[in-house]
Amino acid sequence: MNFFVIADIHGCLHTFRELLTHWRPAEEMLVQLGDLVDRGGFSPETVELCRQLSQDFPTKTLFLQGNHDWAMAEHLGPNGPYSPWLSWGGRATLLQYQRQRNWLAPHAAWLADRPLFWQNEHVLFSHAGFANTPLPLNRVNNDGVLWRRGPLRNMGQLQVVGHTPTESNAPERDEKSNTIYLDTGAALGHCLTGLRLSETGTKLEIIAIPTYPRDLKRD
């Protein structure tokens, strides 16, 4: 089965919906690399759409956890509050949830339950990537798979990651680590990109949707 991979959405709901029209559920697994919330104007609606997709297509969707998703879940979970989140997106996101207060607790629980990575023999998906660091799956490790900035480790598979927006606002490949960076700056007003891959990691197609201006409205 092929993959249709999307990186950081950050509340850009309408852009995401258009990109989803290019997903082929009958023959592809939808892989989302995390960071559904913060920055854009529609975080609650974005999480709800993804949660619904995961219920409607349980064997055809994979939603990984990003650092913003983890931070929201941590802030609202039993170990909270996680106050740093409020200063880099959380305060605005909580205000957005005033539109749908009944979604807040189930969304936080769903985000907390997202896996950190998925792999087969050929490809490895995560939010920020695997580097040469102890305990890469530790959620508070600054060099772990939720937070890493900088060079990644060659894992013997194609890594596909988001997290770090590319300078070109298009997918970029690092040959040394065999990594594709897929965060093309949707929440920065650039575009949201879908990467179609074969199950062996061959790039088949790139589809870029310019960010809808309404998605950047912070209210």
The per-residue pLDDT for range 127-146, each reduced to its tens digit, is 999 999 999 999 999 999 99
| Domain 2-215 in this protein, CATH class | alpha beta
In the predicted structure, residue 219 carries a pLDDT above the cut 60: no
Residue-level pLDDT at 218: 61
Residue-level pLDDT at 192: 98
Residue-level pLDDT at 105: 97
Tell me what percent of the residues of the chain surpass a pLDDT of 90. Answer: 99
Q: What are phi and psi of 99, to 5 degrees?
A: -75, -30
Q: Choose between 217 and 155: higher pLDDT.
A: 155
- Distance CA(53)–CA(47), nearest Å, equals 10
- Amino acid 114 reads R
Mean pLDDT of 137-159: 97
- Distance CA(76)–CA(41), nearest Å, equals 20
Domain residue ranges of the chain, discontinuous segments joined by +: 2-215
The per-residue pLDDT for range 55-104, each reduced to its tens digit, is 999 999 999 999 999 999 999 999 999 999 999 999 999 999 999 999 99
Which of 163, 165, 164, 172 lies closest to 203 in space, CA to CA? 172
Query: Where residue 217 falls among pLDDT bands split at 50, 70, 90?
Result: confident
* Residue found under tokens 């993959």: 3
Query: Where residue 112 falls among pLDDT bands split at 50, 70, 90?
Result: very high
Query: Where residue 17 falls among pLDDT bands split at 50, 70, 90?
Result: very high
In the predicted structure, residue 186 carries a pLDDT above the cut 90: yes
Residues whose CB is less than 8 angstroms from the CB of residue 208 and which lie 6 or more positions away in sequence, other chains included? 170, 184, 191, 192, 193, 194
Task: Record the pTM.
Answer: 0.97
- Distance CA(106)–CA(110), nearest Å, equals 6
Task: Report the number of secondary-structure helices (H) and strands (E) in the chain.
Answer: 6, 10
- Distance CA(3)–CA(6), nearest Å, equals 10
Pair 200, 124: CB distance under 8 Å: no
Query: Where residue 175 falls among pLDDT bands split at 50, 70, 90?
Result: very high
Beta bridge partners of 191: 210
Q: What are phi and psi of 158, to 5 degrees?
A: -75, 120
In the predicted structure, residue 203 carries a pLDDT above the cut 80: yes
Average pLDDT of the chain? 97
Q: Is 50 exposed, middle or buried (0-12, 13-18, 19+ CB in 10 A)?
A: buried
Q: Cα–Cα distances in Å, from 209 out to 18, 20, 124, 150, 193?
A: 7, 10, 24, 26, 6
Task: Establish how many alpha carbons lie within 13 A of residue 132's alpha carbon, considering only the half-sphere containing its beta carbon.
Answer: 4
